[in-house]
C-alpha cells in the first residue's frame, strides 16, 4: 500500500498526483501520510510548498522534518544544493524516517524530487533511492511536446532496475497540446502498466478534483503479487 511517485521531468505534477492519491486512500478510511525525502526551494518561512501540500493532504499528525528529512533553500538540482549547503544526502536517514512513517500509517506516498534519474549525491541518484526503499512506482507523465520519448525512456530505466511500475498517470500540463488523446493512446500501447487516470489541464490544480480522476482499483490490482 506504499508507493513512490516519480515523474518524467520536474514540473509534471508529482505533488498534485501524490496529494490526490492521499485523498483517495483517506476516503477509504485509511491512515495516510505523504513524504518528500528531499526538497529544494523554500518560501519565506523556509518551508517547501510541495511538502506543505503533502502534509495537508495526509490525515496523520506528523512533524515537518519527519516527512522531509532534507530541505535546501535554493530550487536547484538536489545534489548541487546539498554541496552548496555542505551536506551529504544519506539514504540511511531517509530510510529511517520512511520506516517510522510506515509503522504508523496504512499508506505512505513518497514523492521523489525531479525525474527518475536525478543525482542525489556523488554516487547515487533517485533510482537508487527507490531501490533502497523497495517501493512500487507510480509514474507521472506530463503530457506535452516530447512526452512520448521522456515517458518511454523513464519506463525503460525503471524496468532496467528491476523495479515495479504499478501504474502511470497522464497529467495534461499544456492547455493546447496537439493530438493529446493520440499521444496518451500511444503510451497506453507501449507501457506495460495500467493508466490510472488522465488529469485534465487545470489553471488552478486541485488535488481533490484530481482524486476523482484516479482509479485505485486498477492500481491495487497492479500492485498485487
Per-residue pLDDT of the chain (225 residues; tens, 9 = 90+): 899 999 999 889 999 999 999 999 999 999 999 999 999 999 878 899 999 999 999 999 999 999 999 999 999 999 999 999 999 999 999 999 999 999 999 999 999 998 999 999 999 999 999 999 999 999 999 999 999 999 999 999 999 999 999 999 999 998 888 999 999 999 999 999 999 999 998 888 889 888 888 888 876 555 544
What residues are annotated to the active site?
36
In 3-state terms the chain splits into helix, strand, coil percentages (rounded to 5) of 40, 20, 40
Going from N- to C-terminal start, the domains of the chain cover 3-223
The pLDDT of residue 1 is: 83
C-alpha cell at 84: 552548496
The pLDDT of residue 131 is: 96
Question: Cell numbers 505512505 correspond to what residue?
Answer: 108
In the DSSP assignment, the letter for residue 44 is T
The pLDDT of residue 50 is: 94
The pLDDT of residue 144 is: 92
Question: Cell numbers 500501447 correspond to what residue?
Answer: 189
The pLDDT of residue 225 is: 43
**Cα dihedral 48, 174, 183, 118 sign:** negative
The pLDDT of residue 221 is: 56
Q: In the structure, how many helices (H) and strands (E) does the chain have?
A: 10, 8
CB 154 within 8 Å of CB 165: no
The domain defined by 3-223 folds into: Rossmann fold (3.40.50)
Amino acid at each position: 500500500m506504499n508507493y513512490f511517485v516519480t515523474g518524467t521531468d520536474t514540473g509534471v505534477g508529482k505533488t498534485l498526483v501524490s496529494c490526490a492519491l492521499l485523498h483517495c486512500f483517506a476516503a477509504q478510511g485509511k491512515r495516510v501520510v505523504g513524504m518528500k525525502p528531499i526538497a529544494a526551494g523554500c518560501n519565506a518561512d523556509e518551508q517547501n510548498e510541495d511538502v506543505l501540500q503533502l502534509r495537508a493532504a495526509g490525515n496523520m499528525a506528523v512533524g515537518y522534518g519527519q516527512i522531509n528529512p532534507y530541505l535546501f533553500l535554493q530550487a536547484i538540482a538536489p545534489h548541487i544544493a546539498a554541496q552548496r549547503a555542505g551536506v551529504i544526502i544519506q539514504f540511511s536517514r531517509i530510510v529511517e524516517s520512511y520506516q517510522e512513517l510506515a509503522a504508523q500509517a496504512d499508506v505512505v506516498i513518497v514523492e521523489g524530487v525531479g525525474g527518475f534519474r536525478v543525482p542525489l549525491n556523488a554516487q547515487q541518484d533517485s533510482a537508487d533511492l527507490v531501490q533502497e526503499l523497495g517501493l512500487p512506482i507510480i509514474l507521472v507523465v506530463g503530457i506535452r511536446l516530447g512526452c512520448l520519448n521522456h515517458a518511454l525512456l523513464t519506463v525503460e530505466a525503471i524496468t532496467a532496475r528491476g523495479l515495479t511500475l504499478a501504474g502511470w498517470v497522464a497529467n495534461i500540463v499544456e492547455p493546447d497540446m496537439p493530438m493529446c488523446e493520440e499521444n496518451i493512446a500511444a503510451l497506453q500501447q507501449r507501457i506495460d502498466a495500467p493508466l490510472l487516470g488522465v488529469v485534465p489541464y487545470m489553471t488552478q490544480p486541485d488535488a481533490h478534483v484530481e482524486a476523482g480522476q484516479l482509479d485505485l482499483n486498477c492500481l491495487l490490482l497492479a500492485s498485487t503479487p
